[in-house]
Structure 1
Amino acid sequence: MAVSELPAWLASVKAEYVESRIRAGESRNESQANADASFNRFFPGGVPVEGHLIFRVCREDESVGYLWIGPQLDSGPDKWWVWDIEIYKQHQRHGYGREAMILAERTAKQLGASELGLNVFGYNTSARALYESLGYEPTSIRMAKAL
């Protein structure tokens, strides 16, 4: 992704992240605080920390989504993470998510990763199915019950 595209992308992705955390059970204030902390950590001054890569996922010249990958900052340079991936709604179910994940795996491996992890919100069953079909397995499960 071009540096000139980052400010608009960051604003959009951060807003989506807040809404996802709310949908997963956090209050708006908790969600906003968590998003602020995360984005300040990974995009100081509006640019990604070293080693983090943001791709536009494209079909010909049309953007159909994005992918953000990079090493986990606290786990060593060989433990990588899919920090965010989205295929825009109108382009889902055409194989772009699968191809983006294959790109993530290939790129991370070329850059020294021995593992690629990700988080998926429990309500996102279609994404979970895609990741499982690619060989990803749960490593922890956080559960909650509204009272």
Structure 2
Amino acid sequence: MIELREMAPQEFEVYFQDKLQRYTEVLSENVHEVGGNPSEQAKKQLSNLLPKGLATRYHWLFTVQVDAVLAGYVWVKIDDEKKSAFLYEIYLFEVYRGNGIGTEVMRQIEHLLRQKDITYFKLHVFGSNTGARKLYEELGFQIAGVNMLKSLDSELLKS
């Protein structure tokens, strides 16, 4: 059985440290500007997004339970006034990926959002994350914008 359960305070501390490490790695791989420490950037951004931890207004954090075993996390921001939600993260431990659990978790999130009369469900996914992109497209998400990047060869800059 796959279940979303609101995160408890002690679970949040474990989650935050895990998220900090994973987000640092993502920034290291996907942020292409020179300068800045990815670890410091990750900590600053996450602390700004969740200044009061679990008590941060509009932010909902869940654990994903599969047969009562922790399988991952979900972080959603719900803005009732705008009738929109933003998925900051759905993260499943490696062993739980690729077998439909992510799809079921997303369906449960959508059900929760519909109960709250939310009209729009948004998210961001890095272009290199093909597995997540495939999942979101299968669930009906559409591209709303595209960030693009071109790496300029330093030799070209010398001319």
Q: What TM-score comes out, normalization by structure 1 length?
A: 0.87
CA separation of 1:105 and 1:28: change in aligned 2, threshold 3 A: farther
Partner of 2:101: 96
Asked if the contact 1:70–1:108 (Cα under 8 Å) also holds between the matched residues in 2, the reply is no
Partner of 2:71: 64
Partner of 1:126: 131
Asked if the contact 2:62–2:74 (Cα under 8 Å) also holds between the matched residues in 1, the reply is yes
Partner of 1:53: 60
How far apart in 2 are the matches of 1:40 and 1:139?
A: 27
Give % identity: 26
Asked if the contact 1:65–1:85 (Cα under 8 Å) also holds between the matched residues in 2, the reply is yes
Asked if the contact 2:65–2:72 (Cα under 8 Å) also holds between the matched residues in 1, the reply is yes
- Does residue 19 (structure 1) correspond to residue 25 (structure 2)? The answer is yes
Partner of 1:109: 114
Partner of 2:146: 141
Q: Give the number of the structure with larger relative contact order, counting CA–CA contacts within 8 Å between residues 6 or more apart.
A: 2
Asked if the contact 1:57–1:96 (Cα under 8 Å) also holds between the matched residues in 2, the reply is no
- Aligned to 1:108, the other structure's residue is in SS state helix
How far apart in 1 are the matches of 2:58 and 2:125?
A: 22
CA separation of 1:122 and 1:30: change in aligned 2, threshold 3 A: farther
Which ranges in structure 1 are unaligned for 5 or more consecutive residues?
Answer: none
Asked if the contact 2:75–2:89 (Cα under 8 Å) also holds between the matched residues in 1, the reply is yes
Q: What amino acid does structure 2 have at the position aligned with 1:46? A: G
- Aligned to 1:47, the other structure's residue is in SS state helix
- Does residue 36 (structure 1) correspond to residue 43 (structure 2)? The answer is yes
CA separation of 1:21 and 1:108: change in aligned 2, threshold 3 A: same
How far apart in 1 are the matches of 2:28 and 2:114?
A: 33
How far apart in 2 are the matches of 1:145 and 1:35?
A: 23
Asked if the contact 1:42–1:48 (Cα under 8 Å) also holds between the matched residues in 2, the reply is no
Partner of 2:10: 4
Greater mean deviation of Cα atoms: 129-138 or 21-30: 21-30
Q: CA offset at residue 140 of structure 1?
A: 0.8
